[in-house]
Amino acid sequence: MVWLDIAVSFCIAMLSGLGVGSGGLLVIYLTLLSQVPQLQAQGINLVFFLFSAGSSMLSHLWRRHLILPLCILMIACGIPGALAGSYLAGILPAAALRRLFGGFLVIAGGLTLTRNAKRRASFGIFHKPPYINR
């Protein structure tokens, strides 16, 4: 079972490097296939995210693709949001956390599909959007 966990973690890390929202995939794998409790799966996901985000940040810093004022704003909003989320996760039952997380994934996926459909419609399916560098 450990080898399966390692293989799945590696695949999810690769998807994360490609820009796929892998946090949801890891929580789904941990809760449904590994039978990890929801709150513990979310904690593992946060640790996984720290390494993924840290390596991405270093890469963007090296290439100078970060907008520093935006980063500061995101940190200033993210810390209170993380504290509030941690508090809520501690007082809400696991079933409510599952429903909220599932709803969040459905909404995020729907928004992504809608946004991508609009882009494809405006640029054409086979036309490369101007914001993608070759």
Through-space distance between the first and last CA atoms of the chain, rounded to whole angstroms? 40
Dihedral angle of Cα 59, 61, 64, 67, to the nearest 10 degrees: 120
Q: What is the pLDDT of residues 41-59, one digit of tens each?
A: 888 888 888 777 777 778 7
pLDDT at 29 over 80: yes
Grouping H, G, I as helix, E, B as strand and the rest as coil, residue 127 is: coil
pLDDT at 94 over 90: no
Please say whether the beta carbons of 26 and 44 come within 8 A: yes
Which tokens hold the place of 122? 């405006």
Positive or negative: CA dihedral 63, 51, 37, 77: negative
How much is the average pLDDT of 64-71? 81
Q: What percent of the chain has pLDDT over 90?
A: 7
Query: Whole-angstrom Cα distance, residue 74 to residue 26?
Result: 24
Query: Whole-angstrom Cα distance, residue 72 to residue 49?
Result: 19
Average pLDDT of the chain is 80
pLDDT at 33 over 70: yes
Grouping H, G, I as helix, E, B as strand and the rest as coil, residue 92 is: coil
pTM for the complete prediction?
0.52
**Residue 114 pLDDT class (50, 70, 90 cuts):** confident
How much is the average pLDDT of 98-115? 86
